[in-house]
């Protein structure tokens, strides 16, 4: 449960994601999708209930703590370091997995220099994977909107996640950009075996790529299962289209 004052944003929502799957998370505006993502990643502590990741209780951990355990996310509103280069943005993501602290960063003993080289190499590899290598030295702010979306995913990948949560990655993208995004997500799934939870308003995107889909409405889970089953569910049709939609 997640309560904000008198508002219950999530109530008795329970679901299990299998390692390696792509799980779609859909629902009308205000259904609780982003709140659920915030609870999983530590931006909100649930009012009631538990969150288990790889058999470990992570309820109440801070975002940087969930990140260090292998959970990464993107946001509805892009949150890049606009004045930093594309490469630097990705390197920042990988620093969450390095050991150097303030003293090491200032004085830079040899092991810190080695970490920095590995971080740069890792970032270069990720940019190659997502198709942004040619823009490595460009300011993030100078990328197109679609490229910034991909860069945010690249930065999340640099944290070496086991679970990647994507909050409306296709929002405001053109059809060709959406196709490129879907191709990238399939490659993440097939080549890197990253588990993905995908929030998306474009139902065709979710149904076309998800192994299973969970549907929220007014903070409640109203349906769950394979895409073909979910899109025919009468409760889902009612939530999206209103009573009598069947």
Domains annotated for the chain, with CATH where assigned, are 1-70+162-246 (3.40.50.300), 81-160 (no CATH)
C-alpha of 192 from chain center: 15
pLDDT confidence of residue 96 = 64
Torsion sign over Cα 202, 208, 209, 214: positive
The answer to whether the beta carbons of residues 70 and 161 sit under 8 Å apart is yes
pLDDT confidence of residue 243 = 56
Contacts made by residues 234-241, CB under 8 angstroms, sequence distance 24+: 239/27, 239/28, 239/31, 239/215, 240/28
Q: Residue 201: exposed, middle, or buried by beta-carbon count in 10 A (0-12, 13-18, 19+)?
A: middle
List pLDDT tens digits, range 136-192.
999 999 999 999 999 999 999 999 999 999 999 998 888 898 999 999 999 988 888
36 to each of 33, 52, 120, how far by Cα in Å? 5, 14, 33
Cα gap 111→108, rounded to integer Å: 8
Cα gap 96→65, rounded to integer Å: 10
> For residue 71, which of 89, 98, 86, 51 has the smallest C-alpha distance?
51
List pLDDT tens digits, range 113-147.
788 889 999 999 999 999 999 999 999 999 999 99
* Residue 71 three-state SS: strand
List pLDDT tens digits, range 38-85.
999 999 999 999 999 999 999 999 999 999 999 999 988 888 999 999
pLDDT confidence of residue 114 = 83
Torsion sign over Cα 61, 20, 99, 126: negative
Cα gap 219→12, rounded to integer Å: 8
> 110: pLDDT confidence band, cut at 50, 70 and 90?
confident
pLDDT confidence of residue 108 = 64
C-alpha of 131 from chain center: 19
Cα gap 151→141, rounded to integer Å: 11
* Residue 129 three-state SS: helix
Residue 199 has pLDDT above 50, yes or no: yes
The H-or-E segment that residue 181 falls in is helix 175-187
The answer to whether the beta carbons of residues 224 and 215 sit under 8 Å apart is yes
pLDDT confidence of residue 82 = 93
pLDDT confidence of residue 103 = 45
Beta carbons within 10 angstroms of residue 97's beta carbon = 16
pTM for the full predicted model: 0.88
> 18: pLDDT confidence band, cut at 50, 70 and 90?
very high
Higher pLDDT, 172 or 17: 17
User: Token pair of 175, please?
Assistant: 């059809």
Beta carbons within 10 angstroms of residue 162's beta carbon = 16
């Amino acid at each position: 449960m997640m309560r904000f004052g008198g508002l219950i944003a999530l109530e008795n929502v329970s679901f299990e994601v299998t390692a390696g799957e792509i799980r779609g998370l859909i629902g009308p505006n205000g259904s609780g999708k982003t709140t659920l993502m915030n609870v999983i990643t530590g931006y909100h502590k649930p009012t009631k209930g538990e969150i288990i990741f790889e058999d470990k209780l992570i309820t109440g951990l801070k975002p940087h703590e969930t990140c260090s355990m292998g959970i990464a996310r993107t946001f509805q509103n892009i949150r890049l370091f606009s004045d930093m280069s594309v490469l630097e943005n990705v390197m920042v993501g990988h620093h969450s997995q390095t050991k150097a602290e303030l003293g090491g960063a200032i004085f830079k003993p040899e092991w810190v220099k080695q970490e920095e080289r590995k971080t740069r190499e890792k970032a270069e590899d990720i940019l190659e994977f997502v198709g942004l290598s040619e823009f490595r030295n460009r300011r993030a702010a100078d990328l197109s909107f679609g490229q910034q979306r991909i860069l945010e995913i690249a930065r999340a990948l640099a944290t070496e996640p086991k679970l990647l949560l994507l909050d409306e990655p296709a929002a405001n993208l053109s059809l060709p950009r959406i196709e490129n995004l879907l191709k990238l997500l399939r490659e993440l799934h097939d080549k890197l075996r990253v588990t993905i939870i995908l929030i998306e308003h474009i139902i065709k995107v979710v149904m076309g790529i998800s192994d299973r889909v969970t549907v929220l409405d007014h903070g409640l889970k109203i349906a769950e299962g394979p895409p073909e089953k979910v899109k025919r569910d009468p409760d889902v049709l009612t939530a999206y289209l209103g009573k009598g939609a069947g």
